[in-house]
């Protein structure tokens, strides 16, 4: 009998408290009516016969969704997308009263499907698989944030995890990328050839200008002047020389036998 009483008291004690875990808030509901302030992590004492604690997660939630997205050209693209969001603790009571505990399905998912379809319909299918991926994610997030304004929900990020393009589109994208790479390579080769041609042109012009300067410097006066210098050097030489000249250009022969 004593053990039964102790056990009953233990059950009543355990039923009289609720535990709110980290990342959650709790609110008491008595006879279907919410009352009191939201409680953070810890123990909440209640009357187990008439009251219960409604717990709502306020830490970041990662909701993964699979759906078909329309593209600008009318194709259907299979996508797996993560929605990162959290509920504002101060708005938990109003969310439960206005939407209920199914707020994720009613608010988050419905808004996401509408925004994702609207945004992706403005992009080509290949854009979802290429460099415009981040832009698509940001625009979906922006549109959801606008639609959920003042509803107590914060959209942290939209992440396109995997995209499955229609059959044949992958090959078309790869062929286009290969063609673009070949075109870039050819442009590099042509640019290099143009630079080499320009270098040779500049070099040829330099040689031409140098030859022109030399040509302009070879005059009769210069030749006569140089001849006089040669005569002067020969006259001061100690060696015997035989010089034949027409008076302008000397021709030297060794005078030694």
What mean pLDDT is predicted for residues 120-149?
Answer: 89
Residues 48 and 71 in one domain: no
Residues 68 and 165 grouped into a single domain: yes
Residue 183 within a domain: no
Q: Answer yes or no: is 72 within a domain.
A: yes
Is the pLDDT reported for residue 36 higher than 90? no
If asked whether residues 142 and 165 sit together in one domain, one would say yes
**Quick one: what percent of the chain has pLDDT higher than 70?**
69
Structural domain containing residue 231? 220-254
Mean pLDDT of 26-30: 87
Q: Are residues 52 and 89 in the same domain?
A: no
| Shared-domain flag, residues 39 and 68 | no
234 and 156 housed in the same domain: no
Residue 37 pLDDT more than 70?
Answer: yes
* Same domain for 166 and 66: yes
Strands 153-164, 17-20: pairing is: unpaired
Structure tokens belonging to residue 99: 């939407």
Q: Looking at the domain assignment, is residue 36 inside a domain?
A: yes
CA distance 220 to 226: 10
What is the predicted pLDDT for the residue at 70?
Answer: 87
Domain count, the chain: 3
Burial of 34 (0-12, 13-18, 19+ CB in 10 A): middle
Is residue 214 in some structural domain?
no
- State the pLDDT at residue 35: 81
Same domain for 151 and 52: no
CATH number for the domain spanning 147: value is 3.30.479.30
**What is the mean pLDDT of the segment spanning 131-152?**
92
> Is position 209 within any domain?
no
Which pLDDT tens digit goes with each residue over 149-163?
A: 989 999 999 999 888
Query: Do 63 and 83 contact (CB within 8 A), yes or no?
Result: yes
Residue from 148, 66, 74 nearest 111 by CA: 148
What is the average pLDDT across 198-227?
A: 72
How much is the pLDDT for 13? Answer: 46
Rounded Cα gap, residues 256 and 237, in angstroms: 14
94 and 15: one domain?
no
| 104 and 161 together in one domain | yes
**Residue-averaged pLDDT of the chain:** 78
Over range 129-157, report the average pLDDT: 91
245 within a domain of the structure (yes/no): yes
The predicted structure's pLDDT at residue 191: 81
pLDDT of residue 257: 47
Q: Please answer whether residues 140 and 115 qualify as being in contact, where contact means their C-beta atoms are separated by less than 8 angstroms.
A: yes
- DSSP string for residues in the chain: -HHHHHHHHHHHHHHTEEEEPTTEEEEEEETTEEEEEEE-SEEEE--TTTEEEEEEE-S-EEEEEEEEEE-TTS-EEEEEEEEEEEE-GGGHHHHHHHT-TTHIIIIIIHHHHHHHHHHHTTS-GGGGGSTTHHHHHHHHHHHHHHHTTTTTEEEEEEEEEEEEPPTTHHHHHHHHHHHHHHHHHHHHHHHHHHHHHHHHHHHHHHHHHHHHHHHHH--HHHHHHHHHHHHHHHHT-SS-EEEEESSSSEEEEE---
Q: What does the pLDDT average to over 191-206?
A: 81
Given the DSSP bridges, would you call strands 51-57 and 61-70 parallel, antiparallel or unpaired? unpaired
User: Tens digits of per-residue pLDDT, 76-97?
Assistant: 888 899 999 999 999 999 999 8
Do 46 and 145 fall into the same domain?
no
């Amino acid at each position: 009998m004593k053990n039964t009483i102790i056990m009953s008291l233990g059950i009543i004690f355990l039923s009289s408290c609720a535990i709110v875990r980290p990342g959650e808030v709790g609110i008491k509901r008595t006879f279907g009516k919410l009352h009191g302030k939201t409680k953070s992590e810890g123990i909440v004492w209640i009357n187990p016969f008439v009251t219960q604690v409604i717990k709502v997660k306020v830490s970041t939630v990662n909701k993964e969704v699979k759906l078909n997205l329309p593209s600008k050209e009318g194709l259907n693209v299979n996508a797996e997308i993560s929605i990162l969001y959290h509920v504002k603790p101060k708005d938990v009571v109003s969310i439960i009263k206005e939407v209920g505990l199914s707020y994720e399905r009613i608010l988050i998912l419905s808004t996401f499907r509408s925004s994702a379809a609207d945004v992706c319909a403005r992009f080509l299918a290949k854009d979802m698989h290429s460099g415009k991926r981040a832009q698509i994610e940001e625009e979906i997030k922006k549109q959801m944030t606008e639609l959920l304004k003042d509803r107590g929900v914060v959209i942290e990020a939209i992440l396109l995890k995997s995209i499955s393009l229609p059959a044949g589109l992958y090959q078309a994208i790869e062929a286009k990328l290969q063609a673009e790479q070949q075109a870039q390579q050819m442009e590099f080769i042509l640019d290099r050839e143009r630079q080499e041609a320009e270098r040779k042109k500049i070099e040829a012009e330099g040689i031409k200008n140098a030859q022109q300067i030399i040509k302009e410097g070879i005059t009769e006066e210069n030749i006569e002047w140089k001849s006089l210098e040669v005569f002067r050097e020969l006259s001061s030489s100690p060696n015997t020389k035989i010089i034949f000249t027409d008076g302008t250009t000397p021709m030297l022969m060794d005078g030694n036998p």
